[in-house]
């Protein structure tokens, strides 16, 4: 028997609990792989009710689990979709209670233009399968819209080209909804603009557009990607207002072009589609009026000739009245003897009737009518007495009902009703006043938004002469006196070339327009 136990292999190796070893592994992973960029294809994507995002990144051999917490989702840049090739950036971490490691993704970018085009084709097929590209659902554009809504950026030449083209062809009212036309804010702002224009009430304080134009200048696929987002395409398809897409140049194509009611190759072409040429329309109206006048004149001449032809086929007027005139002569010759014979017959009849009208017969008729009248008068007095008694009894009953308490009760009830009606009228009037006040405040904010005063505050100025606002150097040189309006007031200057030279020497003081 040995006094010392036999040594056991590995007895000097320290023991760890499961939690301890999981913590060691987590520290090793987070220490060695702090911030990493991983390229792969997106697999399963799950957005939990809590707002956290879970998805997989995979290649041809392995799958990596990824998660993004609810607060990190808005900063991702691109929402992952199954089949998309992306580059994910974040921190590696490990979950001890499941012995799994994963990537906490904080930023996601699409991996190259080829992946972008593949994603675009995927979205295009999905929307086409839903019927959003069908020509049957596209509506015709209004021939001459009263108000045109434009969704674009205020910077750049796009909005100036559209306004200039509309002014040349047929001036219309234009409402501009400024949006970002590239970057992460592009898609949500364009969606809000389209939905905002559709939410306006017809006939309200802010007029509802009859036509929408979504416009942007040319650019790369990445620059135009905001208009390839599914949310933008669905907002354009759901628009109740006819919509023209004018995104990029003629060779550029985005998803909004397929769902819009009409695609324009350029923003200028969109303005040309929106309105006709006023001078051509006036010329067409004049030509149509001339054709209508000629047609009416020709029709009148043809009807006049037809009337002459029909008149020649009619008989003479004398021939039409010869037979009636002959009949009149015959009847006129028979009238005298017929009148004499009629008088004789009436005389004989009168003699027969008057022979029976003797004084005694008339007296008997008078006596009979007197007796009848006396009998009726005897019955009249009692009947009148009964009617008067009934009326008096009814009047007494009504008078008994009109007591002071009854009158006071009726007065109180009607006073309560009057008070209730007065309160309702006051509440309705107050609601109407509040509604009008809100509309007035909205119009005042719109006035402040559209005012040129805000432009002056950014360093611009307005130059005026005797005839109003001056827009060119030649006009300023010919003016005898100049008045320059800045954001904080107006300044009067002498006119002519000396003033122009002085302004040219100090361009840093502000821009004149």
Distance between CA atoms of residues 399 and 393, nearest Å = 10
pLDDT of residue 12: 67
Neighbours of 282 (CB within 10 A): 10
pLDDT of residue 432: 92
pLDDT for 249-296, tens place per residue?
Answer: 877 788 888 999 999 999 999 999 999 988 888 888 888 988 998 899
Mean pLDDT of 451-480: 82
Q: Taking 50 as the threshold, does the pLDDT of residue 51 lie above it? A: yes
The architecture that CATH gives domain 133-279 is 3-Layer(aba) Sandwich (3.40)
pLDDT of residue 4: 47
Q: Which residue has the higher pLDDT, 97 or 436?
A: 436
What SS3 class is residue 401? helix
pLDDT of residue 112: 64
Mean pLDDT of 440-466: 82
**pTM of the full predicted structure?**
0.44
Contact in structure between 274 and 168 (CB atoms under 8 Å): no
Q: Which of 83-87, 111-115, 222-226, 370-374 has the lowest mean pLDDT?
A: 111-115
Phi/psi at 170 (nearest 5 deg)? -160, 100
Reported confidence tier of residue 128, pLDDT bands at 50, 70, 90: confident
pLDDT of residue 239: 93
* Strand partners of residue 65: 56
Q: Which residue has the higher pLDDT, 453 or 307?
A: 307
Q: Taking 70 as the threshold, does the pLDDT of residue 10 lie above it? A: no
Distance between CA atoms of residues 327 and 474, nearest Å = 97
Mean pLDDT of 180-196: 90
pLDDT of residue 3: 46
CA-CA distances (angstroms) from residue 458 to 133, 262, 461, 513? 44, 37, 9, 13
Q: Taking 70 as the threshold, does the pLDDT of residue 205 lie above it? A: yes
Mean pLDDT of 124-146: 89
Find which of 5-14, 17-26, 321-330 is predicted with most confidence, using mean pLDDT. Answer: 321-330
The architecture that CATH gives domain 18-112 is Beta Barrel (2.40)
The contacts of residue 41 (CB under 8 Å, 6+ apart) are: 57, 58, 59, 83, 84, 85, 86
Average pLDDT, the chain: 83
pLDDT of residue 436: 92
Reported confidence tier of residue 505, pLDDT bands at 50, 70, 90: very low
Mean pLDDT of 397-408: 79
Reported confidence tier of residue 509, pLDDT bands at 50, 70, 90: very low
Contact in structure between 82 and 46 (CB atoms under 8 Å): no
Burial class for 40, CB neighbours closer than 10 Å (0-12, 13-18, 19+) = buried
Show the DSSP H helices in 355-463 as ranges: 359-401, 404-450, 453-456
Q: Could you give the percent of the chain with pLDDT greater than 90? A: 23
Q: Taking 80 as the threshold, does the pLDDT of residue 500 lie above it? A: no
CA-CA distances (angstroms) from residue 397 to 131, 377, 408? 81, 31, 19
Domain layout of the chain by residue ranges:
18-112, 133-279, 455-512
Do the domains at 18-112 and 133-279 have one common CATH topology?
A: no
Q: Taking 80 as the threshold, does the pLDDT of residue 96 lie above it? A: no
Reported confidence tier of residue 332, pLDDT bands at 50, 70, 90: confident
pLDDT of residue 222: 74
Q: Taking 70 as the threshold, does the pLDDT of residue 498 lie above it? A: no
Q: Taking 50 as the threshold, does the pLDDT of residue 501 lie above it? A: no
Burial class for 487, CB neighbours closer than 10 Å (0-12, 13-18, 19+) = middle
Q: Taking 70 as the threshold, does the pLDDT of residue 216 lie above it? A: yes
Q: Taking 90 as the threshold, does the pLDDT of residue 211 lie above it? A: yes
pLDDT of residue 236: 92
Extended beta strands in 8-143, E state: 35-47, 53-58, 63-68, 85-95, 100-110
């Amino acid at each position: 028997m040995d006094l010392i136990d036999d040594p056991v292999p590995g007895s000097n190796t320290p023991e760890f609990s499961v939690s301890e070893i999981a913590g060691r592994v987590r520290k090793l992973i987070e220490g060695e792989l702090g911030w990493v960029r991983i390229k792969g294809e997106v697999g399963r994507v799950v957005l939990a009710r809590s707002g956290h995002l879970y998805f997989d990144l995979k290649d041809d051999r392995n799958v990596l689990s990824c998660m993004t917490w609810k607060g990190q989702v808005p900063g991702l840049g691109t929402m992952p979709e199954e089949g998309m090739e992306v580059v994910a950036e974040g921190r590696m971490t490990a979950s001890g209670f499941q012995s799994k490691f994963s990537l906490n993704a904080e930023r996601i970018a699409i991996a190259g233009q080829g992946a972008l085009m593949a994603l675009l084709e995927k979205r295009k097929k999905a929307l086409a399968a839903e019927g959003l590209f069908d020509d049957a659902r596209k509506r015709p554009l209004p021939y001459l819209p009263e108000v045109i809504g434009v969704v674009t950026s205020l910077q750049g030449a796009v909005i100036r080209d559209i306004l200039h083209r509309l002014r040349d062809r047929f001036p219309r009212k234009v409402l501009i909804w400024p949006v970002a036309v590239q970057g992460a804010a592009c898609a949500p702002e364009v969606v809000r603009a389209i939905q905002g224009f559709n939410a306006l009430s017809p006939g309200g304080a802010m007029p509802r557009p009859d036509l929408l134009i979504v416009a942007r200048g040319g650019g790369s696929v990445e620059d135009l990607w905001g208009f390839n987002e599914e949310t933008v395409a669905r907002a354009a398809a759901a628009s109740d207002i006819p919509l023209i897409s004018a995104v990029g140049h003629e060779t550029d194509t985005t998803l909004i072009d397929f769902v819009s009611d009409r695609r324009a190759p350029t923003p200028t072409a969109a303005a040309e589609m929106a309105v006709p040429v006023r001078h051509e329309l006036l010329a067409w109206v004049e030509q149509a009026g001339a054709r209508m006048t000629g047609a009416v004149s020709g029709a009148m001449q043809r009807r006049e000739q037809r009337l002459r032809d029909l008149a020649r086929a009619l008989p003479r007027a004398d021939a039409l009245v010869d037979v009636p005139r002959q009949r009149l002569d015959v009847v006129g010759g028979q009238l005298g003897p017929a009148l004499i014979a009629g008088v004789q017959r009436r005389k004989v009849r009168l003699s027969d009737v008057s022979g029976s009208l003797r004084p005694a017969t008339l007296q008997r008729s008078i006596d009979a009518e007197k007796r009848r009248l006396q009998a009726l008068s005897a019955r009249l007095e009692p009947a009148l007495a009964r009617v008067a008694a009934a009326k008096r009894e009814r009047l007494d009953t009504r008078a008994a009902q009109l007591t002071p308490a009854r009158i006071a009760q009726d007065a109180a009830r009607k006073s309560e009703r009057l008070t209730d009606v007065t309160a309702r009228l006051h509440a309705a009037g107050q609601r109407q006043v509040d509604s009008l006040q809100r509309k007035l405040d909205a119009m005042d904010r719109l006035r402040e938004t559209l005012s040129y005063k805000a432009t002056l505050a950014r360093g611009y100025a307005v130059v005026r002469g005797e005839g109003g606002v001056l827009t060119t150097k030649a006009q300023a040189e010919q003016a005898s006196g100049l008045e320059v309006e800045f954001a904080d007031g107006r300044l009067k200057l002498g006119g002519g070339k000396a003033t122009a030279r002085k302004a040219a020497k100090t361009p840093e003081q502000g821009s004149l327009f």
